[in-house]
Amino acid sequence: VLQTVVTGLGSVVGLAWIPDIGVAACSSRSKDVLLIRCCPEWISQNHILASCRMALRTQAIVGLNKAPCMKVFIERLPLLLRTQYAYEKSHVACGDQLVHSTFLQSLASLTVGLCLDQFLARTADPAHHKSNSQESVSSEWGWLATFSATIKSAEALAKGTAFPDTFSVPDLSQDSDSDIIKALENNKWSCLMDEQLMTWATSKPEDWQLGGKSEVFLWGGGRHGQLADAGSSALVPTLAPSLTQALQVVCGQNCTFLVQANGTVVAFGEGSYGRLGQGNSDDLHAPTVIAALQGYVVTRLATSCGSDGHSMALTESGEVFSWGDGDYGKLGHGNSERQRRPRQIEALQGEDVVQLSCGFKHSAVVTVDGKLFTFGSGDYGRLGLRSTSNKMLPEKVTALEDYSIGQVACGLNHTLVVSSDGMIVWSFGDGDYGKLGLGACTVKCCPQKIESLCNKGVKKIASGTQFSVVLTKDGHVYTFGQERLIGLPDSMLRNHNRPQQVPSLEAMFVEDIAVGSEHTLALCSTGDIFAWGCNAEGQLGLSHTNQVKEPTLIANLQGKNIHQISAGRCHSAAWTTPLLSPSTPGSTIPVQLGIPEMVPPQYHVLKGCSPKVLTDRLRVLFHFSDLMYKSWRLLNLNSNHQTSISRYNIGSSAIAQGRLRGLLSPKVNILPLVRSIGKTMIQGKTYGPQITVKRISARGRSTKPIFIQIAKQVVQLNASELRLPSRAWKVKLIGEGADDAGGVFDDTITEMCQELETAVVDLLIATPNGTAEVGSNRDRFLLNPSACTAEHLQQLKFLGILMAVAIRTKKPLDLHLAPFVWKQLCSIPLTSEDLEEVDLLYVRNLYGILNLDNSGITEENFLEMIPLDSFVGQSANGKVVPIIPGGSSIPLTFGNRKEYVERTIEYRLHELDQQVAAIRQGMSAIVPVPLLSLLTEKQLEQLVCGMPEVNVDTLKKVVRYRDIVENHQLLSWLWQTLQEFSNEERVLFLRFVSGRSRLPANPADITQKFQIIKVDRPVDGLPTAQTCFFQLRLPPYSSQQVMAERLRYAIQNCRSIDMDNYMLSRNADTGEGSDNDY
């Protein structure tokens, strides 16, 4: 209601709308016409207050006209919100600000609570028009519309009510299909069901892949491992069984990259110049995750097919990364240094990049608004910048700024460009062999139109070494350049310097083309693939290595349902995953889901659901995660600041209090943390500050626990020095012959964990359930409520640093804390059920005091029967303490027993708050603690502690053999022995070879390869290890039984770091430092 007008006597008999003025009205008993002002400007000025007044009335709040300050605030709320968001947006986008300010979060929540988002975020019809259900979202307020949909959907999931109208799931038809209706009915799905469904989808994504598991075929040269398990070479397409999650396969310079459905990138093949992004130059024969890109959802990847190899990756959130050889500045970082790990191209920040291309010595990107940037070697004018100078940073091609560019293709020393509508094609660079398609073979430093391709409707362009290929939207292929590579018959070769349609493919409708260094693949609508060009290593897949001049069918791929192709320098790929339509920057990739065959037994609550319903529900959950991914920075996820739940914060409260965290995809709860850690990582250093530890007692004195020694030194360090990818500090062992190259660091951390759990350091206590041997969590630990001195709090701060270092370095701690503690660390409010999980008997005793029915206890005999006379209770460590200030002097009576029980439970749920705050303070110096509020307690425990089970299959995934072949008898005996070991023995083995007791939950986080080396030593001797290098040295053995016996002896009795005489002299005890230090 904008305004109420009394029109005069009688009823209204006529209304007329007068554009830009308002409404004319007349009544039955008056001759006058009343003109009511209601122009668009007036409506926009008054609509806000009117909307808020109606929203407040639904909350039984009236009298807004009597609150002038509130009235002015509401009128200016949109301006406040818009101004504050515009100010913070750039700071949050570049990472200077982790989340939006509490001020902006509060303004946004208030705006949605007052229903203003419905007015601001949508383009409303004029008042006299009929309502249009397809209202468009205002671009200025699109972020508010997404935020509104997020918190309203969160509220619906938490309360089991219907989703808001703005919750529209892509690929989920809104028809009367009962399966779809059930998937959207939140009252039919418990949180446990949703959590198990998301856990299943993230732990076994192959069960949900569209069309089943992807089949990837590789062929050509593979001596560096670029064919993975398809072999060291293949003359015909060969299935690679390990590559079942391929969304995109990119073949390059003796290397291959896979973009998986979840946006993770894996690499394998030649690693020289750091082209695999692993931080080293080692070849990889097994697909290995590029850890530096974890935290980002990669949507596109491009790599070069020649020179020394470099690559670029584009993420869903718009960042562009590059790595590999950096000659000529082709990585875009302002220098010519190689990058062994992906590094963001900061010069492209703020540009919405949609396409990438890597040439041999230069690179190019295209933005969503049609701009073209090039960088790298400028020889032959390949950058299109009217010069031949190198460019170390991306530079806009101004010659094309009047056009909207849609695609770019970089070759050896030339470049092709096509307009967004496909109607204009340009070329520039070296013109040898006529590969520019201009007739002349001269150098062109400025983009030149290829007139014969204009108005053809070009779909895709590709550049090789000395030739070019163009695919049109009507399925025709045009080539030009070096005669032997362009697929034309001899009769057409004299015009090789101008585009000509390939006659062998005229009868086909070609869907896609892929160009390697000197060969080409064409994918037809029938699924058939044709190949031509250089074939020295069998990269054409035709079972021979002869040069092929014209397109020839690859018979081995017929009937394989191929949807995509790729070509590298000397190998090729084809795979079955359907091609996704390109997405705009900032938009999420629609999830492609198939229907699972059956429900695994571990997800028991899903047993009664049909696979079709589960798939639809999973789409719903993924869509909610997509909304969260865009809006989490606007949510106040600190449960400690949410003293009460109202209509203004119920959605964010449901997430902050942990009810919805388990049904979020890893993109929301894990990736922001990983990304933030990556952005704040100190690069270029292998270890942090040196600290000293004395483990060997001297002069008849025992040394202090290692935990105490290290804690005292580390808490005094500058926290920023500890944000390293490996060793946060270097350990010098006084009086021991060990040089810390990683093994000593790992070994001391393992010892500190043992000290914590064996009461050598009094920060942890066993759970009361463990002491009484009842209930669950008997083998778990709680924080010690008595650890509250200043010294204790400093030690707890160090424990927080230790946990954060474990997250950052991906080297887990061997700690067994109860879920009760992990929930507090990630800010999930505790309940009496959580207390019961660690102290069952005490909670039952409390409920026994409260519920006295049929117990024989009455008000008269209460004091005699209950062995308590005041408001005191039992702490987690068994001590009797007052549960409220002065509780020792407040008598417990029959009448106040309910208050006593409530106060006691409240005390127990918060008695560790001081200790938890100290740990979080320590963590906050190393990792972004606010992001822990997106994690469940299980996820946080896995990040800090990894997996308690040492899995032999995991070790096999990260193994590297040296001086021994994979099928050697010794290796089969070793793996069989480890399989037969108990988990405790495998933990000892892991500590023997690496110094640590646990592996990360994600095998991709194991940054060091497990090396097995065969050494020339006497038969049946003891094995040795180098913990710094995760290395096992095996002498020859006469049988598996003897090997197992020697290995058991070594892991149980040979735990000391090896004595290096050189280091022994350097680490000698000089007597420096007081006895109090050690």
- The set of catalytic residues is 1028
**Stretch (H or E) spanning 150:** helix 142-159
Token pair recorded at residue 302 = 């491009």
**Cα dihedral across residues 1011, 1017, 1023, 1029: positive or negative:** negative
**Cα dihedral across residues 267, 93, 667, 371: positive or negative:** negative
Q: What gap in Å lies between CA 334 and CA 339, rounded to an integer?
A: 12
In angstroms, the Cα distances linking 1062 to 742, 894, 929, 1068 are 18, 74, 42, 10
Total count of residues recorded for the chain: 1078
The closest of 415, 367, 423, 372 to 397, measured between CA atoms, is: 372
Burial class (CB in 10 A: 0-12, 13-18, 19+), 360: buried
Q: What gap in Å lies between CA 609 and CA 599, rounded to an integer?
A: 9
| Residue 979 contacts residue 950 (beta carbons within 8 Å) | no
Kind of pairing between the strands at 12-18 and 22-27: antiparallel
Burial class (CB in 10 A: 0-12, 13-18, 19+), 582: exposed
At 768, which amino acid appears? P
The closest of 650, 651, 636, 648 to 116, measured between CA atoms, is: 648
DSSP string covering 177-226: -HHHHHHH-GGG--HHHHHHHHHHHHH-GGGGBTTSS--EEEEEE-TTST
Q: What gap in Å lies between CA 995 and CA 1011, rounded to an integer?
A: 14
In angstroms, the Cα distances linking 34 to 37, 400, 938 are 10, 60, 68
SS (H, E, C) 968-1037: CHHHHHHHHHHHHCCHHHHHHHHHHHHCCCCECCCHHHCCCCEEEEECCCCCCCCCEEEHHHCEEEECCC
At 868, which amino acid appears? L
Task: Please tell me what DSSP assigns to residue 952.
Answer: H
| Residue 755 contacts residue 706 (beta carbons within 8 Å) | yes
Q: Centre a 10 Å sphere on the Cβ of residue 237 and count the other Cβ atoms it contains.
A: 25
E strands, 711-838, where? 730-733, 764-766, 781-783
Token pair recorded at residue 766 = 């066993």
Token pair recorded at residue 425 = 């094609």
The closest of 843, 899, 904 to 873, measured between CA atoms, is: 904
Q: What gap in Å lies between CA 1046 and CA 1033, rounded to an integer?
A: 13
Residues 6 or more apart from 453 whose CB is under 8 A from it? 425, 437, 470, 478, 499
Query: How far does CA 432 lie from the centroid of its chain?
Result: 45
Q: What gap in Å lies between CA 623 and CA 641, rounded to an integer?
A: 28
| Residue 269 contacts residue 254 (beta carbons within 8 Å) | yes
Most distant pair of Cα atoms in the chain: their distance: 120
Burial class (CB in 10 A: 0-12, 13-18, 19+), 687: middle
Q: What gap in Å lies between CA 950 and CA 1051, rounded to an integer?
A: 15
Token pair recorded at residue 1077 = 């230090």
